[in-house]
Chains A and B, each alone.
Chain A
Amino acid sequence: MTLKTITLTVNDLVETVDVPQNMTLLQMIREKLSLTGTKNGCAAGECGACTVLMNGEPVNSCMVLAAECEGANIVTVEGLAKAGKLSTLQDTIIEAGGVQCGFCTPGMLISATALLKRNPNPTDSEIRSAIVGNLCRCTGYVRIVDAIKMAAK
């Protein structure tokens, strides 16, 4: 398998990485960059645990080939806090009690971050649609939606 060298920005840092042609962005993030906050839930683009921001848009990183990310701007859960200060969403999801096992949390935070960027004042329905692709088995989504509403205020 030939390696391709790509240069991209991940959490505000420029990275140069050699990736096999069939390596997914998720695998690159976790294995090459050791950023294990982004999770593998299904490797098929259906559960959302692997959601990252790619050029501002939420994507299932298990469905993106790393080799296609030349010049991309990637944000993972590790990039949400700035200089040790949690983002508003990270604070509100803690306060609202929207974290139980935590496995869906990184992907959920990324999708919610993208939502509030494009729609700072979403309705309840818009919030739920924005996270429809982030499966959670623990919370019933109740306090996650509360947290996003809280952050929007």
Chain B
Amino acid sequence: MANAKSKEQVVNPIGASFTRNDVYEKVTGSAVYADDIQFGNKLLYARAKRSPYPHALIKKIDISKAEVLPGVKVVVTGKDFPNRIGLYLQDKTIFATDRVRFIGEPVAAVAAISEEVAMKAVELIEVEYEELEAVFDAEFGASDKAPLIHPDLDKYVCPNFIFPKAGTNIANHFKIRKGDVSSAWDKCAHVVERSFKVPHIQHVPIETHIAIAQMDEKGKVTVWASSQSPFAQRNLIAHALHISQSDLRVIAPLVGGGFGSKAGVTMEAIPVALATKCKGWPVKFLLTREEEFYTNFVRQGLTIHVKVGCDKEGNLLALKNIMYWDGGASTEYGTNVTRAGGYSSSGPYDIPNVETDSICVYTNHPIGGAYRGFGMSELHTGLDQAIDELAEKAGVDKVTFLKKNGVAEGDVLVTGMIMHKNGIQECIDNVAKSLNFNEKEKPSSPDRLRGKGIAAMWKAPAMPPNPGSSAWVEMSEDGNVTVGLGGQEIGQGTFTVMAQMAAAALGVPYDKVRIAGPVDTQYSPYEWQTVASRLTWSMGNAVVLAAKDARRQILETVAEAWKESTDDLDIINGVVVSYKSERETSLENIVIYGMPKENNEGWTGGPIVGRGSFMPKYVTNLDAETGQGPRAVVHYTVGCEGLDIEIDKNTGTIYVLKGAASFDVGKAINPALVKAQVEGGFAQGLSSAMFEEIKLVKGVMTNPSFVDYRIATAPDMDFPLDTPFVEVPQDDGPWGARGVGEHPMVPTIAALGNAIYDATGIRLTNPPYSAEKIYLAMLDKGLVK
């Protein structure tokens, strides 16, 4: 029977800026985040006792007074939970056990009938400490003069691509030795040597970390968490508590911002630990904003020494990079940031001789975790500013210099990997064009200086060699499609993009596809983590495979029922059509009950369930001494940013006149969402360039509130921002797509530093580039009186 649906206008979901499928709930206030879930009167509230010292032995913990406070149900300390866990290097315990290693480290926790009672109980816990000499600087921490923060480092389990140095504070030392740097300097016509210090910053998700945990009488645990990593959390918390993974269920509702802070495991383990001692009672732990700033995850600080040289035409010849990462008290995650910083240490430039030492150092500072960019922003802050100076020294204009050295298909990268086709040239061109870059333009008044800065970048998804994604696709009697997946909607729009991809791969309209959320490790298929800008590419591949599997089952059913070949069948707008016989049937008629065969021969088909699984198979290890290996990473996303600014001579204040950001995304599945990511990332990058710094004084964060830790507000973004994207397809990406979530925050500090230099002739090596710093530097240089 002919069906008019297939003849309706078909909008290709790929490349369409469809409205997001999660926004109705968000604008009406009905969207459920973890703190909105109702648990009833049985809910207990957790608070943590935290170390006031950056480095100290724990001599004694007395919880007796806290335990008897009315309303207190459970008090726990580290002695009950001694197992070390970690995503890469297993150096972390849920609570401090024998010693504390940073101010704010949890030493004990309380579950009580109210937050107030829990807070009072925490104050009644008495801890005796013996202070130890502390380490507050990464370079000092790496030296043999520094006290050891993890004396048992040699006993920690770690994968074979992380290289801790026993008997030191060095948690990882990643090396690149490509070509011959020492002899290359003589061939260089120009050399720049610079050091930069990038401070710690925090992710500042507007929703702080939260987890609720409950253990039932049989010992099975359920965790509700604002999480980027429900499956990793299941795995790591199970390890920490000697529970089997399938006895620990993680339910992950919508996330109010992650930016890497909600990856891996941090505070989520604390309510689980409490819940194991009060079976049947749910325990909620919500971090205060102050706790969010420094007790959980921050972005590690970096001291980077860059030496870079080129020939007289401006071709880069040699790069020597020494990076000391201030990893903080635990580097279970940060060791991989160090590694990624190392294997990408050339930036998006073709440099024949590279020597990199990327060193992750323990300090008595907050814990460095995954932060949007995963080391790339810190690296490019130094590298792209040194290159900016080198271009000037060589007398080559900045745009030409970047383009001349931009990494091309076939280039041998610092790890020996061969570079794939990419759009770095177009990205640089886009930014240069948007800002009229090579035209020196006048400031708007004699009180102002004007400058333009440009910086290019790249980043590969930083992952272990075998991170997997999986998905299923099923349908209901109304023809709607449900996609099961394990990746998290953290604001980036993944639920929308996955629906678009499933729609396209199956042959149904976008608004017929729903995502099976919230992600629940009991029912959702496995996803490694929502990090690394990997979901569009990796989970997208799995979703497409699942949709294609469902499509195959449908077409085989119809082919058998109609006695036709699947080659002549198609699914358009939710209708199966035969190009041969011109018969049609709607999916509703097939997907649950199958189809009757002709001539009373019975039935064929049945409930359609498509499945898909994707894991890259080609990533290899790298040599421990040289960092060389056939395939270090899956692929690179490249890009470029630029800024046109004015500086007020009286105050040092920066006024951004225009911004430009261009990235090669392979294929923009939803162009509006790509642009939205670039806008948000640019803002976060600019914020880190102008305002943000965790001010650490002897291990104390002196500015743990929004009053003194400033992030960009609406007036700070009052300038036009061009965001043209480039599409050079990724060979193994769905429709050629690769990720862009992190990248827009990477080159912004360097772009601003370069713009400030262009305006003032001053190179500021330590971000944030605050008005005060700029003014004092101008005063120092005699630019102002």
User: Interface residues, chain A, CB within 8 Å of chain B?
Assistant: 34-44, 46-47, 49, 76-78, 80-81, 86, 90, 93-95, 97, 99-106, 109, 124-125, 127-129, 131-145
Other than A94-B27, A137-B203, give 6 A-B pairs with Cβ distance below 8 A. A77-B27, A86-B27, A90-B27, A128-B717, A140-B683, A142-B717
Asked if residues B256 and A93 are in contact (CB atoms below 8 Å), the reply is: no
Which residues B656-680 have CB closer than 8 A to chain A? 672-673, 676, 679-680
CB-CB under 8 A from B256, the residues of chain A are 39, 101-103
Q: Which of B36, B206, B721 contacts A104 (CB 8 A)?
A: B206
CA distance A61 to B687 in the complex (A): 26
Asked if residues A78 and B28 are in contact (CB atoms below 8 Å), the reply is: yes
Interface 0/1 of B15-34, CB less than 8 Å to A: 00101101111111111110
Asked if residues A142 and B29 are in contact (CB atoms below 8 Å), the reply is: no
Asked if residues B29 and A132 are in contact (CB atoms below 8 Å), the reply is: no
Asked if residues B714 and A144 are in contact (CB atoms below 8 Å), the reply is: yes
Asked if residues B706 and A97 are in contact (CB atoms below 8 Å), the reply is: no
| Nearest CB of chain A from residue B443's CB, rounded to whole Å | 21
Count chain B CB atoms within 10 A of each CB in A106, A129, A136, A137 and give the residue with the most.
A137
Asked if residues A142 and B22 are in contact (CB atoms below 8 Å), the reply is: no
Indicate if B416 sits at the interface (CB-CB under 8 A).
no
Indicate if B445 sits at the interface (CB-CB under 8 A).
no
CA distance A139 to B255 in the complex (A): 15
Q: Chain B, interface size: which category?
A: 35 or more
CA distance A44 to B289 in the complex (A): 9
CB-CB under 8 A from B705, the residues of chain A are 42, 44, 46
| Nearest CB of chain B from residue A100's CB, rounded to whole Å | 4
CB-CB under 8 A from A46, the residues of chain B are 705-707
Asked if residues A99 and B715 are in contact (CB atoms below 8 Å), the reply is: no
CA distance A141 to B24 in the complex (A): 19
CB-CB under 8 A from B754, the residues of chain A are none
Residue of A nearest to B37 (CB): A36
- Identify 28 residue pairs between A and B in the complex whose beta-carbon atoms are under 8 Å apart, listed by A's number: A36-B36, A37-B28, A37-B30, A39-B33, A41-B207, A41-B208, A41-B289, A47-B206, A81-B28, A86-B27, A94-B19, A94-B27, A97-B672, A99-B20, A100-B492, A101-B206, A101-B207, A102-B23, A102-B26, A102-B27, A103-B33, A103-B207, A106-B29, A128-B718, A132-B715, A138-B491, A141-B712, A142-B679
Asked if residues B206 and A136 are in contact (CB atoms below 8 Å), the reply is: yes
CB-CB under 8 A from B491, the residues of chain A are 100-102, 138
Asked if residues B673 and A97 are in contact (CB atoms below 8 Å), the reply is: yes
Q: Which of A34, A100, A105, A127 contacts B493 (CB 8 A)?
A: A100
Which residues B281-340 have CB closer than 8 A to chain A? 286, 288-289
CB-CB under 8 A from A141, the residues of chain B are 683, 712-714, 717
CA distance A47 to B714 in the complex (A): 12
CB-CB under 8 A from B36, the residues of chain A are 36
Q: Which of B25, B684, B717 contacts A137 (CB 8 A)?
A: B684
CB-CB under 8 A from A109, the residues of chain B are 27
Residue of B nearest to A124 (CB): B718
CB-CB under 8 A from A95, the residues of chain B are 19
Asked if residues A78 and B706 are in contact (CB atoms below 8 Å), the reply is: no
Assess A99 versus B23: contact at CB under 8 Å? Given A78-B28, A143-B679, A145-B714.
yes
Q: Which of A36, A43, A101, A142 contacts B257 (CB 8 A)?
A: A101
Indicate if B204 sits at the interface (CB-CB under 8 A).
yes
Count chain A CB atoms within 10 A of each CB in B33, B255, B681, B714 and give the residue with the most.
B714
The 4 closest A-B pairs by CB, nearest first: A37-B29, A101-B491, A103-B256, A140-B683
Residue of A nearest to B36 (CB): A36
Q: Which of B208, B672, B681, B714 contacts A128 (CB 8 A)?
A: B714
CA distance A106 to B256 in the complex (A): 12
Indicate if B35 sits at the interface (CB-CB under 8 A).
yes
| Nearest CB of chain A from residue B711's CB, rounded to whole Å | 6
CB-CB under 8 A from B676, the residues of chain A are 97, 100, 139, 142-143
Asked if residues A42 and B706 are in contact (CB atoms below 8 Å), the reply is: yes
| Nearest CB of chain A from residue B478's CB, rounded to whole Å | 22
CA distance A117 to B32 in the complex (A): 29
Asked if residues B35 and A93 are in contact (CB atoms below 8 Å), the reply is: no
